[in-house]
Structure 1
Amino acid sequence: MTTLLHIDASARAGDSHTTPHGSHTRRLTARFVRQWTALHPETKVIYRDVGQNPPPPVTGRWIHAAFTPEPVREPWMREELRISDLLVDELLQADLIVAGVPMYNFGPPAQFKAYIDNIVRVGRTFGFDRGRSGEPYWPLLAGAGKRLVILSSRGDYGYGPGGRLADRNHVEPSVRTAFAYIGIVETQGLAIEYDEFADQRLADSIKEGEDAVDGLVSRLARGGTLRRETVNARA
């Protein structure tokens, strides 16, 4: 049985299919999960809305607690890491992660960055040993077969590879880097563009984004793999 971790990070509460001025990324993630579970009704879905309920940002107390060996942590340290532990536990259960991550000022929303900071955990998702020969850091989730789908949206256009604004896209590259660091390297991205133009180009981009989601679900259902790329609808 597949466990799917569905994450939404948009500050917009509704999706653009059902809510005026709603989120395009919520629209895409909901479609992906709906299509996936139709093909795999036995799937266990874990839902995490970091857009509406963001995890707390990392603090000095959090760092102190995280880098204190678990057997000697004080009660306040365990409480400091309680939400982080919950988020890591969800990630460890998941075979497939579907994350809706819109572009805010060229990067992921702060809510999603807080999520990443809470799941990149020494001793839980990456290892560290300063006395280790060679590289002192290593991913703890490598080889676990986890896959990541990043569903994004942008107000402007041309953020894909070779596009006019490709050098300003710090969404998929930064998310991929963080997840690869902990061992999740099979990823693929899809993105809707032209949101701020609100014209036919946006409508076409939404349609192409939805079609791309359907195609991706179908390919994965047939045993296909993710491609390390981002498909920009109408880029």
Structure 2
Amino acid sequence: MTCILHLDSSPRGDRSLSRGLTSEFNRTWQQTYPEDKIIYRDLGHNPVPFVDESWIAAAFSQAGQLTPELKSAIEISDRLIDEFLAAKICVFGIPMYNYGVPANFKAYIDQIVRVGRTFAVTSSGYEGLVKEPKKILVITTRGGSYKDSPLDFQEPYLRAVFELIGIADLTFIHAENLAMGDEARQKSLAEARTAIQQFIEIC
């Protein structure tokens, strides 16, 4: 049985195009692999906390030095990291906001990219601590076209941050031109659905 972690970051409900695409992934995956387990987290409607001073103090303390207050400060981080590490495939639905990821997804990244848990600082530099093979599928929705654009701060950032913790197997499906009229929107969504199907077929 494969464990899949599915995150949505759009604050929209039924009107969200990124949610529609990730839901399509779920339906198709469960039809293909009904025995697999999908864990769902809705960052858009239930965001995780931002990193604060107590979190930083706890993250940089030895386990034996953690007070009850510091343990509480990183309890959510521990839970999110355990959940992330348990998944063999992660599916992230991420709309583009101001050329980047939504604040709620950045908050999630800050919770799981943690020194001593998912990466280490060594004499030779950073070392990713995520050793088990893991695939990440990122489905983005964008109003315009950002292929090879210097204004795309989504894909380069996500590749860099996940490579930091040891994950290089990332697939991006960009549903673009969604604000450029109905014909362009429908064409892009159809291409995204085809790419989702192809991803599932090769897993």
Query: For residues 88 and 204 of structure 1, what CA distance do their matches in structure 2 show?
Result: 37
The alignment-based identity, stated in percent, is 40
Query: For residues 51 and 184 of structure 1, what CA distance do their matches in structure 2 show?
Result: 24
Aligned to 1:156: 144
Aligned to 1:233: none
Query: For residues 183 and 24 of structure 1, what CA distance do their matches in structure 2 show?
Result: 30
**Where do residues 26-175 of structure 1 align in structure 2 (5 Å cutoff)?**
26-129=19-122, 132=123, 134-135=124-125, 137-142=126-131, 144-157=132-145, 159-161=146-148, 166-175=149-158
**2:104 maps to amino acid:** Q
| 1:131-184 deviations in Å (ceiling 9; x for gaps) | x3x22x211003x11110000010112x113xxxx1100111111111111111
SS at match of 2:157: helix
Query: For residues 157 and 167 of structure 2, what CA distance do their matches in structure 1 show?
Result: 13
Q: Which runs of 5+ in 2 are unaligned?
A: none
**1:145 maps to amino acid:** P
Q: Once the 2 structures are TM-superposed, how far is the Cα of residue 67 of structure 1 from its aligned partner?
A: 0.5
**1:150 maps to amino acid:** V
- Greater than 6 Å deviation, 4+ residue runs: none
Aligned to 1:192: 175
Given candidates 182, 197, 200, the residue that maps to 2:165 is 182
Query: For residues 10 and 160 of structure 2, what CA distance do their matches in structure 1 show?
Result: 20
Q: Once the 2 structures are TM-superposed, how far is the Cα of residue 187 of structure 1 from its aligned partner?
A: 0.6
**2:130 maps to amino acid:** L
Q: Once the 2 structures are TM-superposed, how far is the Cα of residue 64 of structure 1 from its aligned partner?
A: 0.6
Query: For residues 70 and 54 of structure 1, what CA distance do their matches in structure 2 show?
Result: 26
TM-score, length of structure 2 as denominator length? 0.96
Q: Which runs of 5+ in 1 are unaligned?
A: 15-21, 221-235
Q: Once the 2 structures are TM-superposed, how far is the Cα of residue 13 of structure 1 from its aligned partner?
A: 2.0
